[in-house]
Amino acid sequence: MVTADKGGVEDYIQAVTQKGGTACLWLLEKLLQIQVCARCCLRFAGVSGDIYAPPAPSIRDLQAAVSDAHGDAQADGTAAGAEAETHPCPLCLGALQCTDGGALPSPGRNISAAVQQSRGSPQPWIPVTAASIAAIAEAVRQEGHEFSSFWLDVSLPGATQVRQQAIWHWLRRDAAVLPLLPGHSPSVDMVDLKVALRHTLGEPLARQLHSKQDPDADLRIGLTFAHPATAAEADFLFGSNSKGRGAKRKRGAAPVQLGRSASDALGQAAAKMMESKFGEEVRIPSLPPAQPAFAFARARREAVYIGGYYLKLQRDISHSPFIIDGVRKGRTSIQEEIERVVLPHLRCDGSKFISAGREDMDVRMLGSGRPFVLEVANARAAMPPQECFDQMAASLNSSGVGVEVRKLRPVDKDILKLIKAGEQEKQKSYLATCWLPCPVTPAILDKINATENLVLQQRTPTRVEHRRAMLVREKTLFSMSATPVQDNPQGLMLRLRTQAGTYIKEFVHSDEGRTTPNLASLVGCAEPARILQLDVLEVHMDFI
C-alpha cells in the first residue's frame, strides 16, 4: 500500500500514480465524475498515510490536475467540480470532507436522541456542528479527562459500506478501470474509511490536545457519524427494510431510524449479494446525499480496576446497598464504604463492585479478607500513585465503621478471571457457633474431628429460593474440628473448611431436611441443630 507524507493536488496525483501508474488516473477520473471526494479517491486507489491530514484539494482542482495529466482537458470537468463542492461525498457521506472545517447541520433533538439510544450509554454524545479538529478537541476538553494518550473509536453509518459496494460494482463495468480493482469486494487493497479518518484526524488532534495516539490508550475519543438514510439504504441486507408500503402508521412523529452501523458483517453481506439483486435495492452508482452525516463526539476512559481484600469486622453490614420496599437493611454496605474512599479520587461516572463470593449480612469476614475488584467507569482523573491508595485504605480502616481493606491497588482487567474462577474453585474456612439438641460429649467431638471429605447434597435453601434456581448442589466439606463452649453443655464451636458455594448455615440446621447429611444427623441427634453465629475465617485463593 502506497504511503504519502503530505497533501496537495500534486501530491495526490503522485501518490495515485505511484500506486498503479498513469492507469490509476482513469480510476480518479471515474470517481470524480460522480463527485467522490478527494480523500475517498485516495482510499479507492489504496493510498494510505499522512497525506490525509492536511486540508484536501477541491474536487475541481483535482479534476483539472487529472485532465492535465491525461493531456486533454475535460470540457465539463469544471462545472461538475463546482457542483461537487456543494454536495457531500456519495461514498463517505461527507465524513472525510467536514474535517477541513466546513459547517455541519445541527442534528436536532430527534437525531440526537436516536444516536444516544443506539449507542446504549448514559454518557451523552456531543453534537459537533463544525467538525474541524478544533471543534472535536473542544468536545473532548469538555469531558475534563486527564490523559497523555488517546485512540479514536470511529462509528460510521452502514450506508457507507452499501454505497462503497455500489460504486465498486459501477467501476468494474469499465474495462479501463477493471484491471485496477482486483478481487470481488472493495475490501481488497482499499483503505478502510475508519483508517482514513484516523489518518485525517489523528495527528492534528493529538497536537491540539498536547497528547499522542496509542491504540492501547485507555482514553477513547469516540467519533460517531449518523445518517438517517442508513435505515433505508442498508438494513435490506438483513431483511429488516420495511413492513410493506401499505402498512398503517401510528399517529404522531415517527422515531428516527438510523439503521445499522458499518460493520464487517454488513460489508460481507453486501459483497455476497449478486450485483443484479443488489441493484434492485441500491442505485448504482450512488448519488451524493442531500445532506452530510451528522457528527457526534465524546471522550470516555475505558474501565479501570481497583483491587484488594476487604474485611467485615462487624455484623449488620450488607455486601452492597440492601433496600427492600424503600427500607434500608443494615447499617451500611461494604461496597458503599469502599466507594466512599476511592471514587472521589477518580472523578468517575460510577462503579461496579465484584468480589469472590459474598457473606450474609450477619456474617463477619475475618482473616486475610475476601478478594474484590472495583470496576470504575469513565474515570476522568489519572490513576493516582500507590501512596494515594495506601492513604485511602488507612482512612477507611481508621473510621471504625466495621469495614477494612488490605492491599488496595490498581489491577489489570485480567484479574476478573481469577475472581470468576475463584467462585467455583476456591475453598473457605469458617467458624460457626452452634447449639445441639443434645449434650456435647467426647464421642460427638471425636466424630466431628474425624470427618473428612464429606459430600453434602444441598437443595436450594428456602432463604434464597426466590432468586436462585431450585437445584440439588453437591458440595464437599473437606475437614471439621469442634470444641465445646464453656458454661454451655450443648454449645459447640465448629471450624470447617469447605468447597466454594457450600451453605454452612443449612449444613448446621439442615433447612428442614434440604441438606443431607447435616450436623445433627452426623452426630446422631434426632432434632436439628441451630446456628448462633457464623464468621468466615479465610478465603483460600491466590489473588494479589
Distance CA 420, CA 411 (A): 15
pLDDT band at 40 (very low <50, low <70, confident <90, very high): very high
Question: What structural domains and CATH numbers belong to the chain?
Answer: 1-86 (no CATH), 89-236+258-301 (no CATH), 303-423 (3.30.70.2510), 426-540 (3.30.70.3190)
Q: Would you put residue 316 in left (φ > 0), alpha (ψ -120 to 50) or beta?
A: left
User: In angstroms, rounded to a whole number, what is the distance separating the alpha carbons of residues 431 and 451?
Assistant: 16
**What is the pLDDT, as a whole number, of residue 77?**
45
Which has the minimum average pLDDT: 185-189, 413-417, 439-443? 185-189
pLDDT in tens, 335-388: 999 999 999 999 999 999 999 999 999 999 999 999 999 999 999 999 999 999
**Residue 541 one-letter amino acid:** M
Per-residue pLDDT for 250 more than 50?
A: no
Copy the grid coordinates of residue 141. 476538553
Query: Please, what is the Cα angle at 332 between 326 and 335, to 5 degrees?
Result: 105
Q: How confident is the model at residue 102 (pLDDT cuts 50, 70, 90)?
A: low
- State the DSSP string of 242-300: -S-TTPPPPSSPPPP---PBP-HHHHHHHHHS-HHHHHHHS-SSPPPPSSPPEEEEEEE
Instruction: Quote the DSSP letter at residue 235.
Output: G
Residue 460 has pLDDT above 70, yes or no: yes
Residues 6+ apart with CB under 8 A from 513: none
Please report the DSSP string for 469-502 in residue order: ---EEEEEEEEEEEEEETTEEEEEEEEEEEETT-
Helix (H, G, I), strand (E, B) or coil at 125: coil
**Is the Cα torsion angle 304, 368, 505, 324 positive or negative in sign?**
negative
CA 121 centroid distance within chain: 10
Tell me what pLDDT residue 85 has.
Answer: 56
Across 219-240, b (16+ Cβ under 10 Å) vs e yields: bbbbbbbbbbbbbebbbbbeee
> Quick check: 89 and 56 in contact, CB under 8 A?
no
- Measuring CA to CA, how many Å separate 459 from each of 140, 465, 486, 502, 521? 54, 9, 34, 11, 16
> Is residue 2 pLDDT above 80, yes or no?
no
Read off the pLDDT of each residue in 43-51 and give the average, rounded to a whole number.
88
Active site residues: 360
User: Is 202 in a helix, a strand, or coil?
Assistant: helix
The count of other CB atoms within 10 Å of the CB of residue 531 is: 17
* Strand, helix or coil for residue 3: strand
348 vs 109: which has the higher pLDDT: 348
Q: How far is CA 28 from CA 24, 46, 52, in A?
A: 7, 12, 16
CA distances from 160 to 71, 93, 264, 281 (A): 33, 7, 12, 15
How, if at all, do strands 364-377 and 530-540 pair?
Answer: parallel
In the block, which residue shows the cell 470511529? 154
Q: What does the pLDDT read at residue 190? A: 83
- Cβ–Cβ < 8 Å for 84, 60: yes
Segment 83-99 shows an average pLDDT of 80
Band (pLDDT 50/70/90 cuts) for residue 237 is: confident
Residue type present at position 323: I
Average pLDDT over residues 415-433: 88
Of 19, 109, 8, 98, the C-alpha closest to 56 is 8
**Which string of DSSP letters, residue by residue, matches 79-96?**
HHHHHHTTS--TTTTTTT
In this prediction, residue 81 has a pLDDT band, given cuts at 50, 70 and 90, of very low
Q: Which residue has the cell 460489508?
A: 267
**CA–CA separation, 402 vs 336, rounded Å?**
12
Omega prior to 122 cis, within 30 of 0 = no
